[in-house]
Amino acid sequence: MKKVLAVGLAVSLAACQNNYLSGDMPAHPVLPQGVNLIEEVKRQGDEIVIPYKKYQLANGLTVIIHEDKSDPLAHVDVTYHVGSAREQIGNSGFAHFFEHMMFQGSENVRDEEHFKIVSESGGTLNGTTNTDRTNYFQTVPVNQLEKMLWLEADRMGFLLDAVTQEKFEVQRETVKNERGQRIDNRPYGRLSETMSAALYPEGHPYSWPVIGYTEDLNRVDVNDLKKFFLRWYGPNNATLTIGGAVDPIKTMTLVNKYFGSIPRGPEVIDAKKPSVTLNEDRYVSFEDNVTLPLVFMTFPTVHARHEDEPALDILAEILGGGKTSILYKNLVKNGLAVESQVYHRCQELACTFNMLALPNPAAGKSLADLESVIRASFSEFEQRGVREDDLLKVKAKLESSAIFGLQSVEGKVSQLAFFETFAGTPNYIGKNIKRYNDVTKEDVVRAYNQYLKNKHAVIVSVVPKGQPDAVANADNFSIPQRNIPERIQVKMSDLDTRRAIDSFDRSKQPIADANPLVNVPAYWETQLSNGIKVLGSQSQETPTTSILIKIQGGHFAEPVDKAGLANLTADLLNESTTARTNEDMSLELQKLGSDVRIYARDEKINILVSSLSKNLDETLALVEEKLVKPAFNDIDFNRLKSQIIQGIQHARKDANALANEAWSKLLYGDSIAGIPATGSVDSVSKLTVADVRDFYNNYVKPQDAELIVVSDLPQSEINKSLNRLTSWTGKGKSFNRTFKPVSFDPQSVYIVNKDKAAQSVIRIGKPSLKRDFTGEFYKADLMNFNLGGAFNSRINLNLREDKGYTYGARSQFRASKNSGHYQVGASVRADATDKSFIEFEKELRAYRNHGMTNEELEFMRKAVGQRDARSYETPNQKLRFLGNILEYDLPANFTQKQAEIIQNTSLAELNSLAEKYLDIDTMAKLVVGDVESLKPQFEELGYKVEVIDLDK
């Protein structure tokens, strides 16, 4: 479970009037009969709070409403207090499975219609499952609110009759594909479930993975799932949270209409919190397809919202929270490890204190050596103690992350839902922050002594295949065989079904009123004396400032033999300066609650700055120091260089990383565009500090750089603050930004070998259009929407929903100002690689030859045309929007032009673009997977097969 912390803010919000409710409302609206207002929380002074009203329906459904008039949006979240911890032995994965089933249609929503309805409403949606809860959420233009309530109510009260064995079988395959993609085919993917099985005794609710075991899903049928649903998914075990430009009384009238008649489910009591104790250290290990071994150590501690949770969180920061921590100093800074982490993970029933490290091969240290260093770091903490800065930086981090978390209506709604579900009240935010502010040095030391000192842990070693002796210590614990009880067949007659009785026709989908008026962010332009072009916008929702600086110099500016240089230079700009050590710089930023991240892209080096506005000047002073006074010292250089090399080698074990590398090479050959931005082991190994200095001197210059800023501060104050950057001067060298694609054989399938891969990665495509915002690229993107640009696209419905070959399939035009390409692809079941390829081919040919239908055209127009309401909500969204205006020199009204294109471009014109750009006979075909099994399959399909060796 991710811990969510929040701070309520006082902001002056402009009123936004929207007629979003259908039907006549009384002149003086009152709450419907059976709906009770439980509490109303307002902001009275400077207290920390998110205002809300909390209601309860007669059937036990808790409803929370937060008014936020800043944007014409509504966010709807339904959180069920059920996760994998509510499952039984042998029935793992049920909660996650229902996360899938709840999108497959209900009694009044046809198959595959849920995604389509939300998409054509201009909305976005998703669902997540963890050990303790499942939530479903949508963000839509506010005029679509009633439709979202209708959808959520239909799957809460009218799902089971639409859940068929056929749907069950398809989604079972989808879940298997998800497990293959996220766990079985990913390096270290089985670490978490191995740790949990070793730490928790059999039958403990956390002893199995959230996604479940495949054999459990294989042994059950649809009635088992229905029984689980009827037990846990009633309104009395759910919280409906709504935020946005809504009226509480009108909204509650709709909520009662759609949810009020749904019968209560069985009563639910809080789960027990069984304690876990270890009488000795448990060493377990497994071999994996990895380059570097890993040691993971976990100690059982408390449970979420326990009085010692904040102290343990702060202890984790001291031991391993960033560059000022003990483990960073003892493992990473001195080059013993390429990575170390410490974190205290809290869930409803139990928390764990976790530590991990990956050794640096250059240091010659084993996992046993790293474990010794970790244990010695405990002793160092005992000598060092807790410092005042330790508390200050955690509290500053808490404040800033909380405030930044309130920049979207989704952020506020999700926090209200979280605290209602797990703390019993949405008004827990202030108390939660106070828990951390009240922690003393003595509390942290006491927590260490009670939960870590001389306590036993589970130590998991993950070692490369064929290296069983690389473990930290010989295994002394075996994960017990699962004791699966005999399955009892569930019959339809065994199901305690519940039916709602309505006084209206629930089968009629609500009709939304006109789209709300969406205002494009107002902005201003200027230029600093050192040549930086500035585009800014004021956003007064939170007292924060976000800045993106884009410097003209990146991966494409490198010589081929020095590939990875821009990436390494950017990484070093995040390190020490001549005035401050790495640790001192990190500490200063942490105490401000600010974040500064410098990273390289193909044509740019970007600097992303997030700061509380009250700390902007101090933050920009540190940014200036990074840009003007980089140290580029040997210690930082050697450490980062070693980490990058290990990262490159690690990527060779990941199928998607292999596909990305091979795809670039296939399209652009040996040019710099055909080489990963991180470089190769060979190119990075040859880089020197002098190379980094030269690149910095040649390219990291302000002339013609672009700076986009979104802040609650007025332009005059922002300009004063930005003047701190004018000591940075100079103009960078020009470099080539366009590359001629190399020739490939469209009659060949190019394969990158990944032995015994659980899944294969397929890519089909070719170089294509450069990016534009109102031209042919934009129109081609609209053309592709129904083929592979949405969940309900032809490709995804075919390969995921109909065939069960993949967790998700997409197609897209990907482009920058200077180049672009089109690609279709997915990660698919290894045993369905050739079948998936055939389906891709069929879909591309059919779409090119026959185009989209009139119905698809209307779906695209609604889905794309109504999403502007959620395009400029957060500062980061505004940064992207303004960044495009600056980089592409767009007129202020370009979104109006886009709206006209969406509504007026004809079916014939879009279909002509499909014919022009979707010829699969001219496209490259790439597959990453087990070449031994794949080669004869594609030869049988009539393709030549060429194996790509990425080391050549």
48-107 pLDDT per residue, tens: 789 999 999 999 999 999 999 888 999 999 999 999 999 999 999 999 988 888 888 899
**Per-residue pLDDT at 14 exceeds 70:** no
At 23 the pLDDT is: 38
pLDDT tens-digit readout, 450-472: 999 999 999 999 999 999 999 99
Per-residue pLDDT, averaged over 717-730, amounts to 96
Each residue's pLDDT tens digit, 101-158? 888 889 999 988 898 999 999 899 999 999 999 999 999 999 999 999 999 999 999 9
Work out the pLDDT band at 667, boundaries 50, 70, 90: very high
How many Cβ atoms are within 10 Å of 932's Cβ, its own excluded? Answer: 10
Query: What is the model's pLDDT at position 574?
Result: 96
Q: Could you tell me if 61 and 233 are in contact, meaning their C-beta atoms sit under 8 angstroms apart?
A: no
- Alpha-carbon gap, residue 816 to 773, rounded angstroms: 11
Domain extents in the chain: 36-271, 282-470, 524-727, 748-947
Retrieve residue 742's tokens.
Answer: 């190399």
Higher pLDDT, 951 or 673: 673
Query: Tokens in use for 642?
Result: 């070693």
Pick the CATH number of 748-947 from 2.60.40.10, 3.40.50.280, 3.30.420.80, 3.30.830.10: 3.30.830.10
> Are 156 and 60 spatial neighbours (Cβ–Cβ below 8 Å)?
no
Helix (H) or strand (E) holding 628: helix 616-628
**pLDDT tens by residue, 243-293:** 999 999 999 999 999 999 999 999 999 999 988 999 999 999 999 989 999
Of 294-298, 622-626, 767-771, 866-870, the least confident: 866-870
CA dist 823 and 767 (Å) reads 9
Q: What is the DSSP letter of 106?
A: B
Q: Confidence band (pLDDT; 50, 70, 90) for 29?
A: low
Please name every residue paired with 126 in a beta bridge, in sequence order, or none if there are none.
Answer: 137
What's the CA gap between 903 and 432, in Å, rounded?
48
d(CA 66, CA 409): 9
Q: Which fold has domain 524-727?
A: Cytochrome Bc1 Complex; Chain A, domain 1 (3.30.830)
* Under 8 Å between Cβ of 712 and 539: yes
Amino acid at 884: N
State the average pLDDT for the chain: 92
pLDDT at 867: 79
- Sole residue written with tokens 């007129």: 891
Nearest Cα to 256, choosing from 110, 412, 37? Answer: 37
Average the pLDDT over 521-526 and give the result: 93
Eight-class DSSP state of 704: T
For residues 278 and 451, what is the distance between their CA atoms, to the nearest angstrom?
A: 12
Q: Could you tell me which residue, 459 or 516, shows the higher pLDDT?
A: 459
Q: Do domains 524-727 and 748-947 have the same CATH topology?
A: yes
Kindly tell me if the per-residue pLDDT of 773 is higher than 80. Answer: yes
602 pLDDT above the threshold of 50 = yes
Q: Does residue 4 have a pLDDT over 70?
A: no
pLDDT tier at 12 (50, 70, 90 boundaries)? Answer: very low
pLDDT confidence bin for 873, thresholds 50/70/90: confident
The pLDDT value given to residue 5: 29
752 phi and psi angles, rounded to 5 deg: -105, 125
* Contact in structure between 601 and 558 (CB atoms under 8 Å): no
3-state secondary structure of 176: helix
| CATH class label, 36-271 | alpha beta
Query: What are 861's two structure tokens?
Result: 């127009």
Pick the residue with more confidence: 19 or 564?
564
Whether 397 shows a pLDDT value over 50: the answer reads yes
pLDDT value of position 99: 86
**What CATH number does domain 282-470 carry, 3.30.70.260, 3.40.50.880, 3.30.830.10, 2.40.30.10?**
3.30.830.10
pLDDT at residue 543, rounded to an integer:
92
Predicted confidence band at 786 (pLDDT cuts at 50, 70, 90)? very high
| 339 three-state secondary structure | strand
Q: Is residue 47's pLDDT more than 80?
A: no
In whole angstroms, give the CA distance from residue 280 to residue 278. 5
What's the pLDDT score for residue 177? 84
Q: Is it the case that residue 420 has pLDDT exceeding 60?
A: yes
Looking at residue 102, its pLDDT comes to: 84
For 629-774, where are the alpha helices, taking DSSP H only?
634-651, 655-668, 681-685, 689-699, 715-722
Report the share of the chain in percent with pLDDT over 70: 97
CB 335 within 8 A of CB 327: no
The mean pLDDT value for 759-780 works out to 97
Token couple for 886 = 């600056």
Residues of the chain with pLDDT > 90: what percent? Answer: 77
10 Å CB burial of residue 380 (0-12, 13-18, 19+) is middle
